[in-house]
Amino acid sequence: MIIVNEKEHVFHLRNERISYLLYIMESGQPGHLYFGKALQPGGSYLHMVEKAHRPMSTYIKEGDLYTSYEHLRQEYPCYGTSDYRYPAMEILGRDGSRICKPQYQGYAVIHGKKPLPGLPATYTEEEGEADTLEIYMNDPLRDLEFILSYTIFRDVDALARSVSFINRGNEVLFLNRAMSLSLDMPDMDYQTVQLSGSWARERAVRIRDLEPGITAICSMRGNSSHQHNPFLALKRKNTNEQSGDVFGFSLLYSGNFLAQAEADNYQVLRIMLGINPFGFQWKLEPGETFVTPEAVMVYSAEGLNGMSRQFHRLFRNRLVRGYWRDRERPVLINNWEATQFDYTQQDLLQFAEKAKECGIELFVLDDGWFGARNDDRRGLGDWRANREKLPEGIEGLAQKIEALGMKFGLWFEPEMVNKDSDLFRAHPDYIIRTPGRTASHGRNQFVLDFSRKEVVDAIYRQLYELLSNASISYIKWDMNRSISECYSAAYPADRQGEIFHRYILGVYDLHERLIRDFPQLLIESCASGGGRFDAGMLYYAPQGWVSDDTDAIERTKIQYGTSFVYPLSSMGAHVSACPNEQIGRTTSIATRGNAALTGAFGYELDLNKLSEEEIRTVKKQVAFYKENRSLLAQGDFYRLLSPFEGNFAAWEICQPDGSRALVTVTRILSEVNGPYRRLPLRGLLPDQSYHIQSPHLSYDAYGDELMQFGLMLEDRSAGQVTDGGDTCHDFCSLLYEITAIQTV
């Protein structure tokens, strides 16, 4: 999949659907030629290089009025050597200079893909499924080696990129900027697509036209954040969900990030993705190596849905790993919204008994089980059972839950501490804080300094003891505040720019240790809901809590946006109580169930407070999910109607072979005498006959009809309701089953 033209120094990374072309310029630096739909493998592509004499430009060589880095498309640019755009790297030397001129030294083609030490990364398992190109460069003045790494996958239209910096010299260097990916596009005729919001309204889809200048999203909070997701897409203005060119970029990282699009005055577009340079500086001692987080880039000619399916396939099969990657996830119930801090062991057992009756497989005990934890002002850091609430400890409760025929799970927030805790009283220096400054709190808690190994070790010992002594099948790993006053007492002044990154490396290290020691443990990541829902966390936790907002209508929007990058199997989605805790809205349990089915399914309510009819519905929902969870987790996902654009939302999950599909249609507000509606489907077999079934609709149709004419929607607001109107109300959701009819 990697073709090298030795004579022209052109590298062509190619599978059957996409091509990526780069070359080595006469100056010795790598230049970019092309990324997009697959090109012929034997072509000569140097004619793609565009350069001209431009007034007010700076040129590389005396007498040459054509070659300027400002106007050449590059692979990994640096600032100040005739290029005045934002660079991919900035290296500070002892002499105070930030200028760098890496020169090409050679290359290697590697079958497969190397892991990134201490960092999440995509991987390979089978021979021939990916090839990696490494470009070696060196700045001779500093003796700094650069390795640009590009992996192309055989079965997914994606490339993975990262960069290594190796100090081969004798002087200390400082990395002030080290992006994971830089891509110079030949024009700026695109719209950007980003996923932005805030707590309880994460990952809303935002689309805007590019103009000359900078378009950027970022986090400076120490976590990837509720506000912006480490993802950016470029789409042509006529591209929609189903057709048109789109490029997607995702950073496999959980800390401060920057995703930036810079359009210059000649309409060349530079995309960058990586660790946010603000507040970042890495001291690179002689002999040391720094590796950037991995960035994944996807191309699709099949619109935004096509881009998403590529991300889903790659992340689901070659980023998520371990015991739970290919296994069906258990239906769980979490006690938080039912009890919060106020419960006894007997309350929990009654809660679990009703859940078992409904077919639920996993009981999760949330906050309040440890230390002196009766509110959010105390107890964090003391990971031992509160014996007043749980007289038999976690071990005894877990045994009783398993005796009911269920698995047991537990909530942790291992990165945080309350001042009212034994851990803080013993080690007040363990928190992140700047000397002489007030330490800000969030939710009455402080951030443990995970840049320090001894702090990670202290938490690891507590968790290891608990997980070793009790039968715990699942943990919900929460993180309820961002980092402020970032400073570590363990590092000197010239290393304080490393703390944000070292913190995330510590988080990854603790995950890695727990996965090593307890390989069958299912970890769900959480950060006040979606504050750290990123591709980096998927490497350690195969599913994440999408948002603290469990309202079905808001979740329709949040999960719709999340699906742009992340597979359904990664989205924790639960049916909660009504009126909803976050916004006070009341929706039917059927609508809540339909919203939660398109995710890792569960409940967050007290089943003992439901009516008999609602309990029957819960039992049906659980049974339906169990019957279809393989399809829901592994199927191809299609967004059909956007809740950000109208009164309806719709999506489809289809078996890759087209044999079965599930379609969810949600009407947000009811209508009076509305129109008839039809919904064109995707992914079906044109000549296959299907049976369509919904609560009040049943008919047969061929796949071509369902994809061209469309699925006829049952909507009882289309006309006068004369039969009681059980589906004519606000916040109505219907689920359609599309099943291939077997022919004799």
Predicted local distance difference test score (pLDDT) of residue 556: 97
Using pLDDT thresholds of 50, 70 and 90, give the confidence band for residue 53: confident
Q: Predicted confidence band at 55 (pLDDT cuts at 50, 70, 90)?
A: confident
Task: Assess contact for 656 and 637: CB atoms under 8 A.
Answer: no
Q: Which of 258, 288, 318 is the last residue of a domain?
A: 318
- Residue 62 is predicted with a pLDDT of 83
Is 326 noted as a catalytic residue in this protein? no
Judgement on whether residues 447 and 559 belong to the same structural domain of the protein: yes
Report the SS3 class of residue 554: helix
In 3-state terms the chain splits into helix, strand, coil percentages (rounded to 5) of 20, 30, 45
Q: What is the pLDDT of residue 42?
A: 84
Q: Which token pair is 132?
A: 């990696």
Q: What is the mean pLDDT of residues 652-674?
A: 93
- Name the active-site residue from 548, 551, 606, 636: 548
The token pair that represents 70 in the structure block? 């400002």
Token digits of residue 100: 């760098």
Q: So what's the pLDDT on residue 51?
A: 84
Average confidence score pLDDT of the chain: 95
Quick check: 217 pLDDT over 90? yes
**500 is a domain residue:** no
Cβ atoms of 534 and 227 closer than 8 Å: no
* Omega prior to 579 cis, within 30 of 0: yes
For residue 38 the two structure tokens come to 């697959």
Domain identity same for 603 and 726: no
Q: Domain of 664: which CATH number?
A: 2.60.40.1180
H/E element holding 460? helix 453-469
Convert the pLDDT of each residue in 589-647 to its tens digit.
Answer: 999 999 999 999 999 999 999 999 999 999 999 999 999 999 999 999 999 999 999 99
pLDDT for res 743? 67
Going by pLDDT thresholds of 50, 70 and 90, the confidence category of residue 530 is very high
Spatial contact of 685 and 704, defined as CB atoms under 8 Å apart: no
Asked whether 453 and 492 are in contact (CB, 8 A), the reply is no
pLDDT over 70 percentage in the chain: 98
C-alpha count within 13 angstroms, C-beta hemisphere, residue 74: 26
Phi/psi of residue 475, nearest 5 degrees: -130, 140
Is 427 part of any domain? no
Identify each DSSP E strand in 659-744 by its residue range. Answer: 660-667, 678-679, 689-694, 697-702, 711-712, 732-740
Strand partners, 545: 572
**Which H or E element spans position 654?**
strand 648-654
Contact assessment for residue 20 and residue 150, using Cβ atoms and an 8 Å cutoff = yes
Neighbours of 404 (CB within 10 A): 14
Residues 296 and 243 in one domain: yes
Q: Identify whether 727 is part of a domain.
A: yes
At residue 63, the pLDDT reads 81
Q: Residues 147-195: pLDDT tens digits? A: 999 999 999 999 999 999 999 999 999 999 999 999 999 999 999 999 9
Token output for 487: 């400073």
Average pLDDT over residues 733-737: 95
Sheet holding 648-654, edge to edge: 636-641, 648-654, 660-667, 732-740, 689-694, 697-702
Q: Report the candidate in 292, 293, 295 with the shortest Cα–Cα distance to residue 311.
A: 295
Q: Is residue 675 part of a domain?
A: yes
Residues 309 and 375 in one domain: no
The answer to whether 13 touches 159, Cβ cutoff 8 Å, is yes
Q: The domain that contains 600 carries what CATH number?
A: 3.20.20.70
pLDDT band at 81 (very low <50, low <70, confident <90, very high): confident
Q: Using 50, 70 and 90 to split pLDDT, how confident is the model at 56?
A: confident
At 395 the pLDDT is: 97
| Residue 297, domain CATH | 2.70.98.60
* Final residue before a domain boundary, out of 283, 318, 353: 318
Write the single-letter amino acid at 567.
Answer: P
Percent of the chain with pLDDT over 90: 91
Domain match, 595 and 725 both: no
Distance CA 216, CA 273 (A): 10
More confident residue, 71 or 722: 71
Q: Is residue 490 domain-resident?
A: no
Tell me, yes or no, whether 467 and 597 share the same domain: yes
- From CA 259, how far away is CA 231, in angstroms rounded? 7
Map tokens 């289309």 to a residue. Answer: 718
- What is the span of the domain harbouring residue 686? 641-740
Domain shared by 669 and 649, yes or no: yes
Residue 719 has pLDDT above 80, yes or no: no
Q: State the pLDDT at residue 80.
A: 87
Do 118 and 228 lie in one domain? The reply is: yes
434 occurs within a structural domain: no
* pLDDT mean over 122-141: 96
Q: Which of 131, 157, 382, 478 is catalytic?
A: 478
Of 263, 289, 318, which closes a domain?
318
Query: Quick one: 392 and 282 in the same domain?
Result: no
In this structure, the answer to whether residues 533 and 464 fall within a common structural domain is yes
Cα dist. 398→338, 385, 409, 697 in Å? Answer: 19, 12, 8, 44
The whole model's pTM is what? Answer: 0.96
Q: Residue 562: what are its φ and ψ, rounded to 5°?
A: -60, -35
723, pLDDT greater than 60: no
Together in a domain, 371 and 451: yes
Clarify whether residues 590 and 475 are in a common domain: yes
- Low-confidence winner among 42-56, 198-212, 482-496, 531-545 (lowest mean pLDDT): 42-56
Contact 261, 215 (CB under 8 A): yes
| Within a domain: 81 | yes
Encoded tokens for 121: 């990364």
Name, in order, each residue with C-beta under 8 angstroms of 706's C-beta and a sequence gap of 6 or more: 680, 681, 684, 690, 692, 738
Question: What's the pLDDT tens digit per position in 415-464?
Answer: 999 999 999 999 999 999 999 999 999 999 999 999 999 999 999 999 99
| Residue 71 pLDDT greater than 90, yes or no | no
CB 544 within 8 A of CB 223: no
Q: Is 548 among the catalytic positions? A: yes
d(CA 83, CA 69): 5
CB 590 within 8 A of CB 733: yes
Task: Using the predicted structure, report yes or no on whether residue 726 has a pLDDT greater than 60.
Answer: no
In the predicted model, is pLDDT for residue 724 greater than 60?
Answer: no
Q: Domain count for the chain, please give it.
A: 3
* 432 assigned to some structural domain: no
- The answer, yes or no, to whether residue 319 has pLDDT greater than 70, is yes
The answer, yes or no, to whether residue 118 has pLDDT greater than 80, is yes
pLDDT by residue (tens digit) across 90-101?
Answer: 999 989 999 999
Q: Which residues contact 422 (CB under 8 A, 6 or more apart)?
A: 371, 381, 382
Q: Give how far Cα 14 sits from Cα of 3, 111, 118, 243, Å.
A: 8, 14, 29, 22
Q: Give the contacts of 645 (CB within 8 A, at least 6 positions apart).
A: none
